[in-house]
Amino acid sequence: MDSVRKNKLAIFLFMFPAAVLFITVIIIPIFMSVYYSFLDYGIAKSSFIGLGNYKELFTNATLKFPKSIINALILAVLSVFIQLPISLGLALLLAKGIKGERFFLGVFFLPVLLSTVVVGQLWKKIYFPTYGILNVLLNSMGLENLTKNWLGDPKVVLIAVFIPLLWQYVGYHMLLMYAGIKSISPDLREAAQIDGATEGQVSRYIIIPMLKPIIRVCLIFAVTGSLKAFDLIYVLTGGGPLRASQVPATLMVEQAFSSYRFGFGSSIAVSIIFLCFFFALLIKASIKTEEM
């Protein structure tokens, strides 16, 4: 009994600092945001308005909050159907043990380590209409008709914003999947190949099904990351032009820190939290994995 009590005490002592940090940094701010979202809270005023802020989110045509959610969902769909398949393909390729495996792992993961502000400034230079490398390259190939003001054209700006997101985070998901593949026993691959399975069949029927828990995690990260995307979009476009690349997080910052509508900004923050939890639970319920 003494050893059990000591173990419980040790567990409590080890978990207590993390629990305090988690409650202080995450739980309390969430509850505070929920509280402020019911207030007409600005620099010089604070009054309870109930669900007024949430009603305005969907009735104020100028803000286009529903449009910002659609933009975030478009980024999420692009991440799921473009970014994750590329990450999976790279992980499968590198996990075969190709020459320079460690080098390529480092190269693909390097953008993840870069500051998002640096990445944003880099891609702003690439997209610049006059001297940007993309338009310069198109001009040199005789494709002048394809050149655009990539970050200034409402028709293409969302795709232009997604490409840097793809470039920066494809290595992150790749590394998660690569680690999952490496944890699978090589005996399974060898046994399947002895039975006549091709490399594609091994990947399709053995490796990918066993990667389902990792793929589910990557799906949650990709979708929730798109829903709360902010920094790269803010650096590239600030949500423009004409709110064509506006997402909930950029709208939240605009309302809270430019218009000083802290209560209204809090309602957007709560909406983002709700959307992230909803889609995370939906993905978890949709993709069942065997619990060890």
Does 213 fall in a domain? yes
Does 75 fall in a domain? yes
Local confidence band at 13 (pLDDT 50, 70, 90 cut-offs)? confident
Please tell me the predicted confidence (pLDDT) of residue 5.
59
**What residues have CB less than 8 Å from 82, skipping those under 6 apart?**
166
Average pLDDT, the chain: 90
| pLDDT over threshold 90, residue 12 | no
Tell me which residue of 251, 285, 256, 286 sits closest to 70, measured CA to CA.
251
Does 23 fall in a domain? no
| pLDDT over threshold 60, residue 291 | no
Local confidence band at 14 (pLDDT 50, 70, 90 cut-offs)? confident
For the segment 173-180, the average pLDDT, to the nearest whole number, is 95
Does 28 fall in a domain? no
Q: Model confidence over 196-235: pLDDT tens digits? A: 888 888 888 889 999 999 999 999 999 999 999 999 999 9
Quote the tokens at residue 146.
């394809």
| pLDDT over threshold 80, residue 44 | no
**What residues have CB less than 8 Å from 3, skipping those under 6 apart?**
none
Does 31 fall in a domain? no
CATH number of the structural domain spanning residue 129: 1.10.3720.10
Does 144 fall in a domain? yes
Please tell me the predicted confidence (pLDDT) of residue 2.
56
Please tell me the predicted confidence (pLDDT) of residue 3.
59
Q: Model confidence over 93-134: pLDDT tens digits? A: 998 888 888 999 999 999 999 999 999 999 999 999 988 999
Domain that holds residue 203: 63-286
For the segment 160-188, the average pLDDT, to the nearest whole number, is 93
Question: Dihedral angle at the C-alpha atoms of 120, 216, 77, 276, nearest 10 degrees?
Answer: -70
Helices 116-127 and 157-182 pack at an angle, to 10 degrees, of 130
Determine contact, residues 71/245, Cβ cutoff 8 Å: yes
Does 43 fall in a domain? no
Please tell me the predicted confidence (pLDDT) of residue 292.
39
How many Cα atoms are found within 13 Å in the side-chain-facing hemisphere of 239? 18
Please tell me the predicted confidence (pLDDT) of residue 290.
59
Does 8 fall in a domain? no
**For the chain, how many structural domains are there in total?**
1
Question: CA-to-CA distance for 88 and 171, rounded, in angstroms?
Answer: 10
Percent of the chain past pLDDT 90, that is, above it, reads 71
Instruction: Say which residue, 4 or 278, is predicted with more confidence.
Output: 278
